Amino acid sequence: MTGIILAGGKSTRMGSSKALLNIGGKTVVQRVIEVLQTIFPQIIIVANDEETYRHLGYPIVGDIISGYGPLGGLHAGLTASSSEVNFLVACDMPLLQPALIRFMISQTKDYDAVLPKSGPYLEPLHAVYKRSCLPAVEKVMAAGRKKVTSFFDDISINYLEEEELVAYGQPKRAFLNVNTPEDWLTVRKLLQDLEE
């Protein structure tokens, strides 16, 4: 199994790289890696500025087709991966929970993807995608479609409701991501409280 970290974004709303925000001596992306390391023998970082992430010591691949946002990152990650089962995660989710991820992985049988829900919302950047998704991803990208969900009609998906997920952790907290300086204030406080 492989953990694929998406780190090819622009962090426009934050104004500086979200992945490199530091709290307690650890950056946000280091916190993502710390959790993935406990589960995945392989980790791939999909980023377009290799230098920023080289210090982390994991393989870095760039988008093969740029300008497609997280969908392009998924495409590059699945193409580089040698695993059937892949967990895709954004680089800005520092509160990941291993038990939740393990549960999601255990639900992959007979499906191309496992998508958790938070209330009515899908969490496509905290989801399992098998390599079997690649043809569908390539097809929508060839048609110029950029939404990360645009290939979902062409694959089989196991949707996991929040009610199922709460047995394995606190999904709302695990899905928290840091888009703006205000988000960072909230998440940083949460991390501080958890680590006190």
147 touches ligand GTP by CB under 6 A: no
The single residue among 85, 179, 183, 188 that binds ligand GTP, judged by CB under 6 A, is 179
72 touches ligand GTP by CB under 6 A: yes
Question: Which residue's CB atom is positioned nearest to ligand GTP?
Answer: 9
Q: Report d(CA 108, CA 129) in Å as an integer.
A: 9
The single residue among 32, 40, 63, 133 that binds ligand GTP, judged by CB under 6 A, is 63
Length of the chain: 196
Least CB distance to ligand GTP at residue 15 (A): 9
91 touches ligand GTP by CB under 6 A: yes
Instruction: Name residues whose C-beta falls within 8 Å of residue 20's C-beta, 6 or more positions apart in sequence.
Output: 27, 28, 29, 52
For ligand GTP, the closer CB: 44 or 191: 44
φ/ψ of residue 150, rounded to 5: -70, -15
Strands (E), 54-110: 60-61, 85-90
Q: Check the CA dihedral 82-126-76-145 and report its sign.
A: positive
Q: Are 31 and 115 in contact (CB under 8 A)?
A: no
17 touches ligand GTP by CB under 6 A: no
The single residue among 2, 33, 70, 133 that binds ligand GTP, judged by CB under 6 A, is 70
Residues that bind ligand GTP (CB under 6 A): 6-13, 46, 63, 69-70, 72-73, 90-92, 125, 179
Bind-site residues:
6-8, 18, 63, 92
